[in-house]
Structure formats: C-alpha cells, structure tokens
C-alpha cells in the first residue's frame, strides 16, 4: 500500500484490485477497488451529492471513479496515521470533536462532520462472512481505542464509541480462503491491534492539537 497526499486528500493505492467491504459514500458496500480516497472538507460542508463530489475529485487525480472507495472527513488528513501489526495495515484519520456513544441519546442537532475514517488492508483473501467479521473486529478495536484515549461521549455519561459519521473499509485480495476474522483468530487479532494503534495514535494527535489551540487562545 502506498500513501500520498494530493490536494486536501489522503490517497491509499493498492498494488492490485482488492475486494472491499465498506460504509463509504463512494464505492460503498461490497466492491472491487484499487484506491482509498479520504477527502478533507470544511466543518460546514453542505453538498448534498457527496458521492458525485468524490467522483469528481477522483477523476481530477487521474483515477477511475469506479475503482475508488471514497470517504469524507473534516479531520486533518495530513495527520492521518498508519499502523501495521503482523501482515495487516490500518490507516486512520481521527476527528473527535463530536464524540458519541452509539446507544446514547440521539444528538440534537445532529452533528454533520466529526469523523473517524479507517482503512484496513488484509493480505489474505477472506470470504464474504469473514469480511463482515473483519469490519466488526475493526469497529470494536476503534471503540476500545477511544476508551483508552478517555474520549467521553457528548450524548451519554460514559466513553464514546465513535462519531455520527464514521466510515470504515476493509480491503482484501480476491479469493475466499480465510473463513473467520474475529478477534480470537490470528488475522482478526492483527486487524484489531493495527486499528487500535492507528485510532489511538490519531485520537492523541487530535487531543494534543486541541490542547495546543487552547493554550494559544
């Protein structure tokens, strides 16, 4: 995986097309892609056609929009963190200005942008079911990282589990070899540790940045 930073974006390029399962705005669901595009937008982003916007940015960077999984974030993409554990790589951009607990009160008003985006690359082919398990494992690791960073939810008296607009993608080579990717498996444990380290590092960068701005105010 190669990382680059085109204008206002973080781009991950894979050496070959991978099977991807994601909640992404562009290329979401189960698809095949070679690129992950994480576009930084303003906190007051108001376009109602984000998939079209992402496709435009992809084409402006010489990419086939059909070969891209694209996400949006108001977090600083230059502060994106890559962490590897064993064979697994995880990249995260972490914005926690609006941390929420998933089962807490529905926030009013709904926060528009304040996002943790995670991209996970697994070098082993996974079945469809294992891909779902990999997403589940990565999401659990994200929540654990926020708890370890002591991020408190705005809508609940307890730790945050994420934000209202988080997005995730797990990419794996074609094929259907590995059937399980829960945290008790070797590949699941590698996913969990890579994501935990990436999100925890990103959260601490966010916290230091906010604290520094407070001192300068």
37's CB contacts (< 8 A; 6+ apart) are 9, 10, 11, 26, 54, 57, 58, 61, 63, 68, 69, 70, 71
- What percent of the chain has a predicted confidence (pLDDT) above 90? 85
The per-residue pLDDT for 210 is 85
The confidence score (pLDDT) of residue 113 equals 61
**Would the pLDDT of 156 be above 60?**
yes
pLDDT of residue 176: 79
What value does the CA radius of gyration of the chain take, rounded to a whole number of Å?
16
Tell whether pTM > 0.85. Answer: yes
Band (216; pLDDT cuts 50, 70, 90): very low
Strands (E), the chain: 2-4, 9-22, 29-40, 68-73, 81-85, 88-94, 116-121, 167-172
- Looking at the structure of the chain, the number of domains it has is 1
Separation of CA 19 from chain center: 16
For residue 112, give every residue at least 6 positions away whose Cβ sits within 8 Å of its Cβ, in sequence order, or none.
43, 44, 45, 165
Tell me the CATH number at 34: 3.60.70
Give, in degrees to the nearest 5, the angle at Cα 35 between 2 and 50: 130
CA-based diameter of the chain, in Å? 54
Residue 121's domain spans which residues?
2-216
């Amino acid at each position: 995986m190669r990382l680059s930073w085109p204008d206002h974006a973080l781009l991950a390029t894979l050496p070959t097309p991978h099977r991807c399962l994601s909640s992404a705005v562009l290329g979401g669901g189960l698809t095949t892609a070679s690129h992950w595009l994480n576009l930084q937008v303003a906190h007051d982003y108001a376009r109602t056609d984000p998939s079209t916007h992402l496709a435009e940015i992809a084409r402006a960077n010489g990419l086939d929009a059909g070969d891209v999984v694209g996400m949006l974030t108001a977090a600083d993409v230059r502060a994106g963190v890559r962490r590897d554990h064993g064979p697994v790589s995880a990249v995260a951009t972490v914005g926690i200005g609006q941390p929420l607990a998933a089962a807490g009160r529905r926030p009013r008003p709904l926060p528009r942008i304040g996002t943790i985006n995670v991209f996970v690359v697994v070098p082993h082919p996974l079945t469809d079911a294992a891909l779902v398990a990999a997403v589940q494992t990565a999401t659990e690791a994200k929540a654990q990282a926020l708890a370890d960073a002591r991020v408190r939810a705005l809508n609940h008296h307890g730790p945050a589990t994420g934000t209202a607009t988080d997005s995730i993608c797990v990419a794996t080579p074609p094929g259907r070899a590995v059937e399980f990717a829960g945290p008790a498996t070797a590949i699941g444990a590698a996913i969990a540790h890579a994501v935990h380290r990436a999100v925890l590092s990103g959260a601490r960068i966010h916290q230091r940045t906010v604290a520094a701005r407070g001192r300068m105010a």
